[in-house]
Structures are given as C-alpha cells and as structure tokens.
Structure 1
Amino acid sequence: MRLVPHPGPAPDSGHGARMTRETRSLPVLAPDAVDTPFTILGYGEVFARDTTWNDHSHPFHELLWNERGASTAVVGARVWTVTPALGLWMPAGTLHSGSAVAGTRMRASFFGYATTTSISDTPVAVEMTPLLRLLLERLGDPGLSPASRATTEAMVLDVLEPSPRELLVHAPTSALLRPIAEAVRENPGDQRTLADWASELGVSSRTITRAFNAETGTSFARWIATVRAQHAVALLTRGWDVETVAEQVGYRSASAFGVAFRRTTGLTPGMFRA
C-alpha cells in the first residue's frame, strides 16, 4: 500500500453561516506501516478557519513550520508553538494532536521512514534558517532533475538539526497546580505571584516550586514566561502590535515584554509579526 501524506480532508463548503472552526480526523499509523518511498515530500496549505486535528500519528517523519501564522502541536502534556522561525520535528509513530489559527500558511515536509534517519526519537524544535527554507523551497520545484533533487535532499538532511530554542510548555495536571494552569491559560496577563498563589491555595511557596519543577521541569516564573510567550506569538502572528500584545500578556511596557520574550525564545517579537 502506498500513502500520499495529507494533513486531512479539504474543508467542507457547508451551507448557511460560514463555519468558524474545523476539526479534522486522521488515523493512527505506526512507523513504516505503509509504503513511503519518497525521501522528502512537501505540502502546504492556507487555513481559512481555525483548525484542529485529533490525536494521530504518521508512518513517516514530519517537519512542521509556517510561512505565516502560528500553530500548535500537543504530545501528552507537552505543547509546542510552531512559527515561521521555529519548526517542529515529529518522529514517525508519535501520537499527537494540533491546531492552527485562521490565516496560517502552514508548511510540512514528510521524510520517508525507510529512506531517512530521524534527527531525534522525540519531538524537537528546529530553527528554520534561511538556508533550510531555501532548500525546502527548491524541492518544491517541479522541474528539478532527479540528480538535483537528490543533492538538495542530502543538503537538507545535512543541515537539519534540533534547536536549543523552543516554545514548549509542559502542562501541569496535578490537583495542586491545575488552578494555576487554568487561570494562566484563560488570562496570560494574570499578575498573581508565587506568594499570591501559595496564599490562595493554602500551601507554602516552596511546595508550589517543588511541584512545578517535578511536573514541568522548570520553575514557576519560567513556566509563566513561556505560556505568555506562546500566547504572544499567536497574537503577533495575527497582526497585533507589540504594545498591545505586551499589555495582554501582563507586561507594563513593550520594552519589558521584549526583554522577557527574547530571554524565553531567543528571538525578538518582531520576528513573529504578520
């Protein structure tokens, strides 16, 4: 059996009022469950609606990135934000779900399981450098000769590597931390400090600190900063100005937001502006 990868069915035309959200269903497939004879196969789509995908897995490796806009990929309690600057490598057979905001111009490159080696056994961020993007664009040229395609594919595999920068949040699920996670998800600009939450939940600040380190692998402050950065990226890619985004995610000035954003992502807010 041969599979041509596709993120899902085309949106329904619908009747009457235009749908504002679309949900797509994809199968759960094991690595190499179907024939994937290609080395690298590209795909692109512009989403007219906010779109979500159910839990699914691919028989091939996948590199997700966007030319414009923002999307998310979820594996268990881990949530990555995918942007034009930061892509995500999804190894074959990894169960994941996802979403993309309307207007996102998504790109995906599928790597044949039998013809390529995964850069990681787990999902990892990939910095979408100008060279990597140029090589992937070249593979989309229908007039590319077989020899040139093979050379370009080899170059992609040579420069492709995990990035130390990523927009990743481990969502805490314990009864202790769930109120914090839900509140910050609802309002990333929530100004309650570690001491405020400790008082509200009737525990010590040390107890919350230990719980955050155990469940998320990071501190309360760094977790908050990353959640805010993820939310900020979604707003920036929708075209919001930096000052308004800074206010929405809880910073008193655009400069303070810029410093925190760069500390968290290694990138400037301007790199994500629509």
Structure 2
Amino acid sequence: MRVTQPTARRARKGAATAVRNLPALAAGEVEVPFVIHGYEEVVARDTTWNEHSHPWHELLWNEQGASTAVVGSAVWCVTPALGLWMPAGQLHSGSAVTGTSSRAHFFRYGTTSALPSAPVAVEITPLLRLLLDRLGEPELTAASRAVTEAMVLDVLRPSPRALLVHLPTSELLRPIVDAVRADPGDQRTLTGWAAALGRSPRTVTRAFRAETGTSFARWVATVRAQHAVRLLAQGFEVDVVADVVGYRSASAFGAAFRRTTGMTPGMFRAR
C-alpha cells in the first residue's frame, strides 16, 4: 500500500509553525561595519519568514536540513550542498523545517563578486565552506580576515545546478500546480491532465514551456526532488520517500534524484 503524505509527516504532527516578520529594506539602506558577517541557527520548529528584503547581500545555506526561499513565482530549495545568493534589496520569503541547521553570510552592499544581481544557486564547495568557517574564528586577525574575505569573494560562483521550481500562475495550469505540490506522487500524465482540463496536450505543453521554461515531466521531477529533500532532511528512509513522491522503486527514485540534484539520496542524507 502506498505510503501517504500524512504518514511521512507524522514526525511533525501537532507542531505549530513559527512566523517571523522582517522589514523590507532597500539595498544599502543600512550602513554596516562588516564586509562578510556570519549567522547560524538551529531551527527549533517549522518556521516561515514573511516577504522581506535586506540592505545587504545574503548567502543562504544549511549545515544540515532543508529550507525554502521564494522570489515571486520561483521556489528555491536550499541544502548543505546548494546555497542561494540573495542580492540586497530583493524581496523574498522563506521557510525551514524543524531541526534545520541554518547558515547565512551577509555581504556588505557594494561588495564586488562574480555573482549576478539576481538570485542564483551557489555550490557550497569544501573550499568555500572552509573559508566561511574560518571567518567565524574569534582569534582571526584583521589582516587574516581581509585575506579570507577576498578569497571567499574569489571562489563564489553560480552553480550549474539549482533546485528551482517556477510556479505557473495562469488559470489553465493552476489546478495542476496545486495538485502536484499537494501530492508530488500524483501519477497523472500531461495527456491525462489535458483531458481533465478539456484542453489539448499541445496547448498544455506550450503553456508549461512558456511559463516555466521547461517541460511538464522535468517540472514534476523537480517538484518531487524538492519535496524529497525536505523528507530526507527529516530523517525518513529512502524507500519511504521514494514511495511518497511517486516512484515505483528506491532505485528509480535515486536515479531521478541524482539527475536533478547531482547527488544520490544517500549522499544527501549523509551531508
């Protein structure tokens, strides 16, 4: 019998979600005394952040666990291996599940880097992680800090991979979006959805491509990967997660997960 999503969520049943409200500040609106400043927190319970913006740039990543950042209709999944660069002044909201060890590094507005002035995925490489950790050492001298900060800025690069889902907003595709996000294991094909909506498969295909920049199948695979990341981060076994997100076997799930994220489910759990 297929494992239902409520079963896979029972570890969090009854836990109230914490809501944090932060202001929307323009880029550079607040002067800061740092070039790069680190922050870390273990999220004690499921938490959401309202739409807000920072006067500085922000690099979001996790020591462990999974979190989400939303910019308009784009939903980014943040993991220990894949961070997110959020430019100063960019409105965004977010969420994190209980137990997520969240990391953030704030970069003074105007700091030069190779990253674009738009949100972009950043691979948290061992070197980048080492440098960011070094900035947290209390005995670091001013000269050493300046060198380390320069090295961080030098190695920051956009990642070729991103756990990013663009959410279609049209009335035509909204029923599909709502159903698949509520149950990523939904097995309906694009042809099946087209019949249910009274449209041709070609019409639905074109709409998906126009609104998301990708195919229906790839979009579903990424929604499933984002959901799987959150469940794996909560400690659910790979075969349970595979079933919840709609794969017939753990091996099929593993192959799809690796195509989307660049790592196996086991590798993700280990990190």
Q: Do both proteins adopt the same fold according to a TM-score greater than 0.5, normalized to the shorter chain?
A: yes
- Residue identity (%): 72
Question: Does the CA contact (< 8 Å) of 1:85 and 1:271 recur in 2?
Answer: no
Q: Which amino acid aligns with 2:38?
A: G
Between the aligned partners of 2:181 and 2:164, the Cα distance in structure 1 is 14
Of 99, 106, 124, the residue aligned with 2:102 is: 106
Between the aligned partners of 1:271 and 1:151, the Cα distance in structure 2 is 32
Partner of residue 23, structure 1: 19
Q: Which amino acid aligns with 1:137?
A: D
Structure 2 unaligned blocks of 5 or more: 1-13
Partner of residue 119, structure 2: 123
Q: Does 1:252 align with 2:253?
A: no
Between the aligned partners of 2:92 and 2:182, the Cα distance in structure 1 is 23
Partner of residue 143, structure 2: 147
Secondary structure of the equivalent of 2:181? helix
Secondary structure of the equivalent of 2:94? strand
Work out which structure has the larger RCO, using CA pairs closer than 8 Å and 6 or more positions apart in sequence: 2
Q: Which amino acid aligns with 1:60?
A: W
CA RMSD of aligned residues (A): 1.2
State the shift of 1:118 in Å.
6.3
Between the aligned partners of 1:102 and 1:212, the Cα distance in structure 2 is 33
State the shift of 1:19 in Å.
6.1
Question: Does the CA contact (< 8 Å) of 1:240 and 1:273 recur in 2?
Answer: no
Between the aligned partners of 1:40 and 1:25, the Cα distance in structure 2 is 24
State the shift of 1:248 in Å.
0.5
Between the aligned partners of 1:210 and 1:166, the Cα distance in structure 2 is 23
Stretch deviating more after TM superposition (186-195 or 258-267)? 258-267
Partner of residue 218, structure 2: 222
User: How many aligned positions are there?
Assistant: 257
Between the aligned partners of 2:138 and 2:260, the Cα distance in structure 1 is 39
User: TM-score scaled by structure 2?
Assistant: 0.92
Q: Does 1:65 align with 2:83?
A: no
Partner of residue 178, structure 1: 174
Q: Which amino acid aligns with 2:21?
A: S
Of 230, 237, 240, the residue aligned with 2:236 is: 240
Q: Does 1:164 align with 2:150?
A: no
Once superposed, which parts of structure 1, at least 4 consecutive aligned residues long, lie more than 3 Å away?
A: 114-118
Of 76, 87, 94, the residue aligned with 1:80 is: 76
Question: Does the CA contact (< 8 Å) of 1:38 and 1:115 recur in 2?
Answer: no
User: TM-score scaled by structure 1?
Assistant: 0.91
Between the aligned partners of 2:122 and 2:108, the Cα distance in structure 1 is 18
Structure 1 unaligned blocks of 5 or more: 1-17
Q: Does 1:199 align with 2:195?
A: yes
Question: Does the CA contact (< 8 Å) of 2:114 and 2:157 recur in 1?
Answer: no
Between the aligned partners of 2:145 and 2:260, the Cα distance in structure 1 is 37
Question: Does the CA contact (< 8 Å) of 2:15 and 2:46 recur in 1?
Answer: no
